Amino acid sequence: ASMEALSLSPPMSPPVILTQDELKKIAAYKAVEFVESGMVLGLGTGSTAKHAVDRIGDLLRQGKLTNIVGIPTSKKTQEQALSLGIPLSDLDSHPAIDLAIDGADEVDPHLNLVKGRGGSLLREKMVEGACKKFVCIVDESKLVKHLGGSGLALPVEVVPFCWKFTANKLQNLLERSGCVAKLRNDCEGKPFVTDNGNFIIDLYLKEELGDLQIASDAILRIAGVVEHGMFLDMATTVIVAGELGITIKNK
């Protein structure tokens, strides 16, 4: 992996304290610099990706970008892109995507990601798995040594049918990592339902997962599991915005 660091403030200027949302916006705007007219673009989901989609909408309106086709990774992003006048399509019509821009919940030193705390992991994995370049945009709080190490959840999308059975299978599989599996609820206390009509089981881990590829394969072999939120070896670039500037990490 190569790394490039860009300072946010000129030398000698007083330090500026930026909010997390401002950092997300800085990373998002930097990623949009990679967008060229005529591209098929994967449009991510979440508060960081939202800034990127807004920026693409602005550049289209200003005529600085033309002939863009967006492939949204969720119904929410689809609505946002439509409201901005971004022309949209889907993977059926555009199976090859030039560039996708999306956030992440965790990024490890090898640029492996955890995604899906916003619940859109399945469509994100389909779209981002079909692109030549996947630029992941995060503020520095998302950097972790090991995936699952932030104390937050590793999300798994499961079919609603007998979800408790599937949750138990997941918990038993990852028992050695001290896994606790919990059904995700929405703000009304009902099961959170994904854009695909499925549920999310959040896996809370006390210990590292060990070999991520082995864990990934084992999770996917459980009947009832649709997809999980580990995105291994998928990001080609990660843009990290922090108080000291922007860091661009390339695979």
Kindly state whether residue 224 participates in binding ligand 5RP, applying the rule CB under 6 A. Answer: no
We find the least distance from the C-beta atom of residue 165 to ligand 5RP, in angstroms, to be: 24
Kindly state whether residue 115 participates in binding ligand 5RP, applying the rule CB under 6 A. Answer: yes
SS3 call for 99:
strand
We find the least distance from the C-beta atom of residue 141 to ligand 5RP, in angstroms, to be: 9
| Near ligand 5RP by CB under 6 A: residue from 27, 30, 39, 45 | 45
Q: How far apart are CA 154 and CA 177, in angstroms?
A: 12
| Pairing state between β 131-139 and 97-102 | parallel
Catalytic residue among 106, 124, 128, 227: 124
Question: What is the footprint of ligand 5RP within residues 151-210 (CB under 6 A)?
Answer: none
Kindly state whether residue 26 participates in binding ligand 5RP, applying the rule CB under 6 A. Answer: no
State yes or no: is 175 an active-site residue.
no
| Near ligand 5RP by CB under 6 A: residue from 77, 78, 112, 120 | 120
- Burial label for 47, CB within 10 Å (0-12, 13-18, 19+), is middle
Which is nearer to ligand 5RP, 98 or 227 (by Cβ)?
A: 227
The residues near 13 (Cβ < 8 Å, ≥ 6 apart) are none
Task: Give CA separation, 218 vs 25, 105, 147, in Å.
Answer: 36, 22, 16
We find the least distance from the C-beta atom of residue 187 to ligand 5RP, in angstroms, to be: 16
Kindly state whether residue 44 participates in binding ligand 5RP, applying the rule CB under 6 A. Answer: yes
Kindly state whether residue 242 participates in binding ligand 5RP, applying the rule CB under 6 A. Answer: no
Which is nearer to ligand 5RP, 119 or 242 (by Cβ)?
A: 119
| Near ligand 5RP by CB under 6 A: residue from 39, 41, 65, 105 | 105
- Burial label for 4, CB within 10 Å (0-12, 13-18, 19+), is exposed
Task: Give CA separation, 2 vs 141, 156, 221, 242, 251, in Å.
Answer: 20, 31, 34, 18, 7
| Region near ligand 5RP per CB under 6 A, out of 32-40, 64-72, 118-126, 143-151 | 118-126
Looking only at Cα atoms, what is the longest distance across the chain? 60
Q: What is the spatial order of strands in the sheet that 131-139 belongs to?
A: 2-6, 245-250, 237-242, 131-139, 97-102, 40-43, 69-72
**Residues within the interface to ligand 5RP (CB under 6 A):** 44-49, 102-105, 115-121, 124
Active site residues: 124
